[in-house]
Structure 1
Amino acid sequence: MTHNTPLSPRPLHHLAAGRRRLVTAAQLRAHGVSAAETSERCRPGGPWQQLLPNVVLLHQGPPTSDERLHAVLLYAARERTVVQNGGENGAGNAGAAAGVPVGVTASVPVQPGREETPPVPAYAEAMITGLAALTLHGFTAAPPLPSLDVIDVLVPRLRRLRTTGCARIVRTTALPTSVQVTGVPVAPVARALADAVAELSDAGVVRRLLTEAVRGGHCEPASVVRELNRARLLSRPHVVDAVDSLVAEGRALAEQRLYRMVREHGLPEPVWNVDLRLPGGPLLGGVDAFWPEHSVALELDTRAHRQREDDALWAQYARKREHLERLGITVVHLTPRKLRDCPEHQAAVVRTALMAAGDREPAAYVVALPR
């Protein structure tokens, strides 16, 4: 045999027998299938079909939702294959020659005297985002996968890819850490929401998605608004209206968690939602809970992190807190996320502040008025 003798074609039956009968052009070449033969088999009436550039489905008929998701990821993922010396090859076909799908996690036998190389990340530098990601996260307000004409896929900004077929390319300067959902890398909820909202003009749909994100416990309002701000979507009137509803929803949930924390952890009952004022003097500001006997006030930070408003609101909070503490009133500052994730710890923080009241100088007398 000479070096010019072509390799014998490798059988394709093990590829076509998988749950997802998807292959890449590199895989087909590794199995001895030429580009011309691939084109012939993908003609109308042929046994295969080309779903996306360099992605072939080894059967006719409509692809399943699972196949569409993985086809989009195969199209968008950076080709990374493992070579047998334990290194990586960004453009080679060593992994494909071993029958490994491009972009999919692969393990290679360890050579004697060499350390094992970690598996290649599945679908490198690509993840599902937008409405498809929200559906995978379990959003009832998101449409079912079969009804989506396109599937958004998030990739780094400098990747040379174009939107085509059922794959819509969404670019980002900083790729977030994906979440695995049924074996599919999916963008975090806040990022997926921002990418979905960018393509939506229906105010009702936007409001339902944002509300479900908070009410369903997927994420906090601040993280959603932060992503919307990064995407420069807060200038759209229907998005601003939905954000206002989102912030109100988030505050209501945070207050419910606060009431539950006080009740379930045996804290003294405070007076709720009051404005503090010096007798005959100016208004000191509102607080969410106040223990007059202990001179302890509690504030929930439900800021939405909306551009310059965030800095101005934080400065206002800081001035109020400094004023109250000069009067001898301890201010406990809690966030909705802390209340959600570790209520026991937050209850301990409040209890410590209440117990320390006896060791402090008496605070100035203030009047608490209902808001």
Structure 2
Amino acid sequence: MNHNTPLSHSPRPLRHLADVQRRVLTTAQLRAHGVSTADTNEQCRPGGPWQQILPGVFLLHPGPPTSEERLHATLLYATRSPVPGPATAVPTQPGAEEPHGQQPYTDALITGLAALTLHGFTSAPPLLSLHKIDVLVPRLRRLRSTGFARIVRTPSLPTPLHVTGVPVAPVPRALADAVTDLADAGAVRRLLTEAVRGGHCEPASVVRELTQAKLLSRPHVVDAVDSLLAEGRAIAEDRLYRMVREYGLPDPVWNVDLRLPGGPHLGGLDAYWPEQAVAVELDTRAPRQDEDALWSEYARKREHLERLGITVVYITPKKLRDAMEQQATVVRTALMASNDREPAAYVVVLPR
């Protein structure tokens, strides 16, 4: 019997299940289809056409589950109240989200390596090679890990993303859950690097999740984060160069230090337009640092420069990625407004 074989030999109450598109159902869903516990037990006898693959979750064919079936079985096991009946049908369009109101999973998201694979990470293993599928549930859920379903608890669930009809944790959270069980420094570095280089998220969001998961006490994670932050800064600088070029801004001097003549160091800047006394600094603060202290340092530098008549524009890597044109407009406006300001104090510009 293969995956699509009709259940023509089944008793009358089971025949209609041949039309169920997703061949993974819970006890409650089978009951909603008119299948009694006795019928289920009979179908799951040794050598029978069905099998129980997780507590209360049944596979309606005898072969090994596909990767999609393992994902949905994990979610059905972990979900608070799976919706019986039609809501278990797969979307008609590959990659489409579940129709509004049809999502059968409540309080359960795929996370960890399985989620990263669904997000398209090439450095994450194929789904079928994963011995465990991590599923994120609220902390107070009374569930235990079993079979291929591994329960990961959280005080509050993040907003899910849907990939091929499967609710998936956002990349930063999925990364933190994946890294929790990885001792291979190379694997951790590859995942974190792909997250940033592939445009999935910004370094700050990854570091924030790793900090909350208390993973920054592990030396191999700290080393990977240092590489991640360097990678993220290089990408942000490249985007800043591209913004100036693509939106026709005048060329600044890049990566400079400012000093008062014969006086103190005023701070480093990523871009500076001396004639207009306008500066751009990338805000690449890492959440693992003391944000209040670091922001105070940013604020002191900004206030000092602005007292000297220099306008400072702070841009985050995320804004450069998601709203480059808007950031170019902000910088252009600052450059144009320089004509209406008092001339800035003379400062010495040095390469950084």
Q: Pick one of 306, 314, 337 that aligns with 1:356.
A: 337
Equivalent residue runs for 1:77-156 within 5 Å: 77-79=79-81, 81=83, 96=84, 99-100=85-86, 119=101, 121-156=103-138
1:23 is the counterpart of 2:34: no
Bigger drift between 194-203 and 9-18 goes to 9-18
1:41–1:223 CA distance, 2 compared to 1 (3 A):
same
1:197 is the counterpart of 2:179: yes
Distance 1:266 1:32 in 2: 68
Distance 1:133 1:101 in 2: 22
Match of 2:4 in 1: none
Equivalent residue runs for 1:1-371 within 5 Å: 11-79=13-81, 81=83, 96=84, 99-100=85-86, 119=101, 121-308=103-290, 310-371=291-352
Bigger drift between 295-304 and 32-41 goes to 32-41
Bigger drift between 33-42 and 197-206 goes to 33-42
Query: How far is the alpha carbon of 1:102 from its aligned partner?
Result: 7.3
Q: How big is each residue's C-alpha offset from its partner over 1:121-162, in whole Å with a ceiling of 9 and x where there is no partner?
A: 430111111000000000000000010001001111111111
Shift >2 Å, 4+ stretches: 9-20, 27-41, 99-105, 118-122
Q: How big is each residue's C-alpha offset from its partner over 1:224-273, in whole Å with a ceiling of 9 and x where there is no partner?
A: 11111111111111111100000000000000000001011111101000
Distance 2:337 2:44 in 1: 76
**Aligned-CA RMSD value:** 1.9
Q: Is the 8 A contact 1:74 1:102 kept in 2?
A: no
Q: Is the 8 A contact 2:138 2:153 kept in 1?
A: yes
Task: Indicate the percent of aligned positions where both proteins have the same amino acid.
Answer: 76
**Residue type of the partner of 1:195?**
D
Aligned residues: 334
Q: Is the 8 A contact 2:22 2:90 kept in 1?
A: no
Question: Which structure 1 segments of 5+ residues have no match?
Answer: 1-8, 82-95, 106-117
3-state SS of 2:123 partner: coil
What's the TM-score once normalised by structure 1's chain length? 0.86
3-state SS of 2:110 partner: strand
Question: Which structure 2 segments of 5+ residues have no match?
Answer: 1-10, 92-99
Distance 1:29 1:13 in 2: 14
Distance 1:215 1:14 in 2: 48
